[in-house]
Amino acid sequence: MLKVDQIDVYYGNIHALKGVSLDVAEGEIVTLIGSNGAGKSTLLKTLSGLLKPKKGDIQYLGASVAGKPVQDIVKAGISHVPEGRRVFANMSVEENLELGAYLRKDKQGIREDIEKVYELFPRLLERRKQLSGTLSGGEQQMLAMGRAMMARPKLLLLDEPSMGLAPLLVKAIFNIIEEINRSGTTVLLVEQNANMALSIANRAYVIETGKVVLSGTAAELQASDKIKSAYLGGH
């Protein structure tokens, strides 16, 4: 479904991604783990079109999307839930969801999908008229995910959904990621919480200072000594 081929991405002179390749097949949950500053967010931003690769190519559903405008990529079915949620704090929960469907014209379908998001996240339903800036971190994460789902993505990019959340909430969020995946959305999940990420993923890539250093099935990586010591807290 998605094939990233040897991409190089820069911020000015900073070489943030160095020949990164990875692929995601339809229906999978693939996770990308790595420590701070490894380049995980940079990769997601490049996939969603916020950044342009200097070299290399990104094939999605058989066509190149490298360097395409974000709105074209969203239209093609890639939604990106950014790091730190980035909900529109000055707008209500429901307005945020409506913005998620910005490129859609089917009013009826949008209404139905808003209801579906409320089914997935009942807490958002109770707060639909509330300004999203007043939501808790977990609720904002739910809103950011719901907002991304409103574009009816085929591929969902999630950037550290567990960041700053209590363990119980992390578990709930990960359950929902699995549910979203079961209902037909492919997921590329960036995480520092490697334990949790590997527990729901099919496959994983490990990225360090802009390079993919390891990849394999989730089970292989869970068993790898290197991963255990570096990312799974050494046990």
Partner 1 sequence: MDWLQQLINGISLGSIYALIALGYTMVYGIIRLINFAHGDVFMIGSFVGFYAITGLGLSIIPALILAMAVCALLGVVIERIAYKRLRNASRIAALITAIGVSLLIEYGTIYFRGAQLEVFPSALPTKSFNLWGATISVQSILILSISVVLMIILQIVVRRTKVGKAMRAVSHDVEAARLMGINVDRTISATFAIGSALAGAAGVIFGIYYTKIEPLMGVIPGLKAFVAAVLGGIGIIPGAAIGGLVLGLVETLVSALGYSNWRDAAAFIILILILIFKPSGILGKNSREKV
Ligand X SMILES: Nc1ncnc2c1ncn2[C@@H]1O[C@H](COP(=O)(O)OP(=O)(O)OP(=O)(O)O)[C@@H](O)[C@H]1O
Residues at the interface with partner 1 (CB under 8 A): 48-50, 70-71, 74-75, 79-80, 82, 84, 86-91, 95, 98-100, 102-103, 133, 147-148, 151
Interaction between residue 83 and ligand X (CB under 6 A): yes
Q: How far is the CB of 90 from partner 1 (least distance, A)?
A: 5
Q: Other C-beta atoms within 10 Å of 208: how many?
A: 15
Binding site partner of 192, from ligand X, partner 1, Mg ion, none, Cβ cut-off 5-8 A by kind: ligand X
Q: From the centroid of its chain, how far is CA 142?
A: 13
CB hemisphere CA count around 139 (13 angstroms) = 21
C-alpha dihedral, 134 to 137 to 109 to 24, nearest 10°:
160
Q: Which of 182, 22, 165 is nearest to 85 (CA)?
A: 165
Binding site partner of 77, from Mg ion, partner 1, ligand X, none, Cβ cut-off 5-8 A by kind: none
Residues in the chain: 235
Interaction between residue 16 and ligand X (CB under 6 A): yes
Q: How far is the CB of 92 from partner 1 (least distance, A)?
A: 11
Q: How far is the CB of 61 from partner 1 (least distance, A)?
A: 17
Residue 223 vs residues 192, 195, 219, 232: alpha-carbon distances, Å: 17, 11, 6, 10
Contact assessment for residue 109 and residue 188, using Cβ atoms and an 8 Å cutoff: no
Q: List the beta bridge partners of residue 214.
A: 206
Q: How far is the CB of 87 from partner 1 (least distance, A)?
A: 8
**Between residues 45 and 127, which has the closer beta carbon with respect to Mg ion?**
45
Q: How far is the CB of 133 from partner 1 (least distance, A)?
A: 7
Interaction between residue 11 and ligand X (CB under 6 A): yes
> Which residues are at the interface with ligand X (CB under 6 A)?
11, 14, 16, 34, 36-42, 83, 192
